[in-house]
A and B are shown apart, each in its own frame.
Chain A
Amino acid sequence: MRPRAPAAQPEEADPLPEATSSFHDRFVELFDAHFQRLYRIMNRLSGEPELAADVVQEAFVKLYRRGFLPEAPEAWLISVAMNLFRNERTTRSRRLRLLTPSRGEQVHGGRLPGPEEATSAEDSRRRVRAALDRLPERERSLLLLHAEGYRYREIARALKLNQASVGTLLARARRAFRESYQGTRHAP
């Protein structure tokens, strides 16, 4: 994903009605409360800081372009960032396939640390990433959203889950992650 060009000057011709000050204030509040958390979630999900920053920024830009707040802005931001992330991943894998004829392609994540990379910190990071990557997307997202302090209601809305079963799903996801992490000790 390309880095964004510097933001255009706001005094240029504005295609949207001028945002009301209350909307703008609420936008700033949402940014302050959620930007860092969403960035951490997307970065943990993707392992790509640039991609994470890009999709979270894009989610906020989309929110601003709406000109008014959705019913549950936190869940809306999460859903939009997740969708952008999925789209980017899909586009990228398609691009890799097109760039690389099938006989040449072999792309996978985190399985090739050379000896110089095998410090314990990096090794541990690699194991955490591998353990997360093995989980189904829903469990991964659930754990990461909860780790950032999102409430059951917000998580249920963002991931389209039944709110009454979020606790059970969280317990299962955490168990699955721990088993997956233990499994990385013996991975090649």
Chain B
Amino acid sequence: MTGKLVLENGTIFEGTLLGGMPIVGEVVFNTGMTGYQEILTDPSYADQIITLTYPLVGNYGVTREVDQSSKPYCKAMIVGELCTFPSNWQNEGTFEEYMRTHGIPCLYNVDTRAITRAIRSHGVMKGVICPTDTPQEKIDALLAQPLATDHIMRVTTKWEGHRGSDSAEFHVAVFDFGVKENILQSLENEGCRLTIFPANTKAETVMACNPDGIFLSNGPGDPKDVPEIVEEIKKLVGKKPIFGICMGHQLIARAFGGETYKLRFGHRGSNHPVKDLDTNRVHITSQNHGYAVDEASLEGSGLRVSHRSVNDGTVEGLVHNDLPIMSVQYHPEASPGPTDNVYLFERFKTLMRRG
């Protein structure tokens, strides 16, 4: 079936559509050249329409092993070309089947570079993906819908969960704002036993399990939308070592009175250079964020910038001057992306070791 993407500013891109229902979402792009399945299943993309800039997608098929959550939460994918004959020994089926199974529409045979350039010059926009013959009123109606603000509650776990060996060195309480599987796996690999809590868990409940450290996960949406979570985090500050990734990082900043703001078109990809200001070393990181911490707003908060984007100078990591609190905006757990940054999990352990 032929389909199209209609952007908020009226630009139209025509292609072939997989899945029939018109959907609306925020259109973003990811510049990674591998890892489409990890991207698709990353809950931080909830409600978004993901454009992959690398044009050949599906070449190596899919494998359950790399799923980052039980199902995709994004609204749709936009790709240049969809490979129907994947080849890789780990392959268990085509990406097309996978998206069909999960009901994720996909617009393909489109000029994804043109879409990327549109987003780059205009900033992120809402967009509608629909069959070519969809009436304009319907598209307009969809575009008029406000974006949701309840993403985290939709993607977080409903029940408390447990992972890892009882003999593990550390016990970490994880706030699940839409945590990626490989974060949990990385913590586990580093010798942590995990108790995973729904996003709206009260601080007291978390403290009751007596963890060695608290982990604040990644997650979708605007950190301003969850003031109640920030309140709980405030209560935990100073009690236990805290490590935040992505949304977790932004919420820590807000818990200390910092501000967050929306980036023009976000950082999404596997090639983002970040400088660790303590070691002066640059690491290539995997990123997926549409919001960032406002550096100026941190003054007097006790937090200082520990990592900075080499590309645009934005805040990529924070540490507290006195308290055992650290956070990064990017994804040290990779999946997809480079594995240069696992050292951060080590640092977290050091914090926990000191207690």
Do A and B interact with each other, yes or no?
Answer: no
Residues of B at the A interface (CB closer than 8 Å) are none
Residues on A close to B: CB < 8 A? Answer: none
